[in-house]
Structure formats: C-alpha cells, structure tokens
C-alpha cells in the first residue's frame, strides 16, 4: 500500500468548473507539498503546507493534520490547468525522503 | 536568477551500460535531491546531497550513486543499467536540507534502456 493516496486518478472538467483533488496519507508528516507536472515532465511546486489553508490565485490548498487529508481546489478552471497534480508527504525521520502520490491527471475542456 | 537545469534531456542506453545525469541547482541552493519517475507513477526518492555529502537515501541499490560539487551542481550515476531503469529522472534543489525548504524541480532527463 502506498503511503500517499490520491483521488481521483483521472479527472475531466469543463472550463469554469470548480475542481477538487484529494490526498490521504498514512504517515505522520512535517510538511505536505502539492506539485504540478505538465506533459514532458517539468514539475512546479504549488504549495507547501503544514497546517490550515493556503491560497494562490485560483488555487487553494487545505490540510487536516488530524484526519491526514489534504485537498487541492481549482476555482474557475481553465484549459491551461490541464496537468498532473501530485501530492508529496514529507515525514519526519526518513532521511529527507518524500513519499509521492501517483498523481491526478486533470484535463479541462474548453 | 536561473532555475534548475538538467542534462541531457533524453538519453538511450543499452542494458549493462553506465550513465551519468547532470543537474545544476538554482542559484544560492546548497541541496539537491534526485528522483526516479516511472511512466504513470509518482516520483520515487533516490537520494539527497547537502553541501557535497549524501544526506539521505531511498530504497535504491548501490549501483545508483551520486556526487555533489563545490558549486552545488550534482551528478547521478547508474551502473549496470537494467530495463527497469527506464524512467524520467528529476532533480530538485532547495535552500537547505530541512523539511521546511521548498524544492525547485528541473525539467528532467528521460532515460530509455533497451
């Protein structure tokens, strides 16, 4: 079983829709990251969270430490948001190792 | 400031050969982490270098080795290549080795082993 699980694996949305991607983890963490990966491989770090909520433009990330769950929300989705979104947990005492989810592939249709 | 760069972009090798992948960290960053991402999977942590010393390692065999130079650029070496080593190899640099430091990823090197 993977330490980090994401859902859904694939998501197709119409432009303008509100999107939610979920991440559950089974390990204690000191930080959780949300990453965006475009076709071709380049990864961009979107958020780093250890508690609460962060917002950047149309993106919002929340985390509930007690429930070991995080969500990434995209408001007013746009075709340029089409990418793979990956959550990565950073547990303490693991030699600086991240545990990554397998990603959610998002396609936003115009 | 320049971002994280990796070379080469693509590489094809034969089983049993050796390969060296390179990563230049973002200006001011002293920590580089390497990841392997198989097709359709999330990245897997290989190891991290902090100020030229290995600072953590994932579940990869010793034929995966690395190096960090005084300018904090880094190399990943893989000996005795196997077909399963075919993957996208990502490096990420950060200002420090702690968990609170954001990682900045390079574009990756796609390795194909035939």
Residue B27 has pLDDT above 90, yes or no: no
B56:A94 CB<8 A = yes
Q: Please count the other Cβ atoms lying within 10 Å of the Cβ belonging to residue A103.
A: 23
Distance from CA of A43 to the nearest CA of B (A): 6
Question: Which residue in A90, A92, A103 is closest to B42 by CB distance?
Answer: A103
Counting beta carbons within 10 angstroms of the beta carbon of residue A22, is it exposed (0 to 12), middle (13 to 18) or buried (19 or more)?
middle
Residue B10 has pLDDT above 90, yes or no: yes
Per-residue exposure over B42-69, b if at least 16 CB sit within 10 Å of its own CB, e if not: bbbbbbbbbeeeebbbbeeeeebbbebe
Q: What is the pLDDT of residue A94?
A: 61
| CA A62, A65, A67, A70 torsion-angle sign | positive
A95:B42 CB<8 A = no
pLDDT (tens digit, 0 to 9) for every residue of chain A, 110 residues total? 678 999 999 999 999 999 999 999 988 887 899 999 988 778 888 998 889 999 999 999 999 999 999 999 999 999 999 999 999 988 776 666 778 898 999 999 99
A80/B93 Cα distance (integer angstroms): 26
Mutate to test the interface with B, among A10, A49, A96, A99 (most CBs of B within 10 A): A96
A30/A76 Cα distance (integer angstroms): 31
SS3 of residue B45 by DSSP: strand
Query: Of A17-21, A92-96, B70-74, B102-106, which range is least confident?
Result: A92-96
Per-residue pLDDT, averaged over B6-17, amounts to: 96
Distance from CA of B42 to the nearest CA of A (A): 4
Nearest CA in chain A to B105: A43
CB contacts, 8 Å: A31 with chain B: 99-100
β-strand B10-13 against B109-113: which pairing, if any?
A: parallel
Q: For residue B15, is it left (φ>0), alpha (ψ between -120 and 50) or beta?
A: beta
CB contacts, 8 Å: A42 with chain B: 105-108
């Amino acid at each position: 079983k993977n330490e980090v699980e994401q859902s859904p694996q694939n998501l197709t949305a119409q432009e303008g829709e509100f999107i939610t991607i979920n991440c559950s983890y089974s390990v204690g963490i000191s930080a959780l990251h949300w990453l965006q990966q475009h076709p071709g491989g380049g990864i961009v770090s979107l958020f780093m969270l250890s508690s609460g909520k962060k917002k950047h433009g149309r993106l919002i990330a929340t985390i509930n430490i007690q429930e070991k769950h995080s969500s990434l929300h995209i408001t007013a989705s746009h075709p340029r948001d089409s990418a793979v979104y990956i959550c990565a947990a950073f547990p303490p005492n693991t030699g600086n190792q991240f545990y990554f989810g397998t990603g959610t592939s998002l396609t936003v249709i115009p | 400031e320049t971002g994280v760069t990796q070379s080469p972009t693509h590489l094809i090798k034969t089983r049993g050969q050796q390969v060296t992948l390179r990563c230049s960290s973002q200006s001011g960053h002293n920590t580089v982490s390497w990841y392997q991402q198989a097709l359709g999977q999330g990245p897997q942590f290989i190891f991290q270098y902090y100020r030229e010393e290995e600072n953590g390692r994932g579940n990869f065999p010793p034929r995966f080795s690395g190096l960090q130079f005084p300018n904090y650029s880094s190399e990943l070496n893989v000996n005795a290549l196997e077909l399963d080593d075919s993957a996208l190899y990502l490096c990420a640099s950060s200002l420090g080795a702690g968990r609170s430091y954001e990682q900045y990823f390079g574009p990756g090197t796609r390795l194909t082993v035939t």
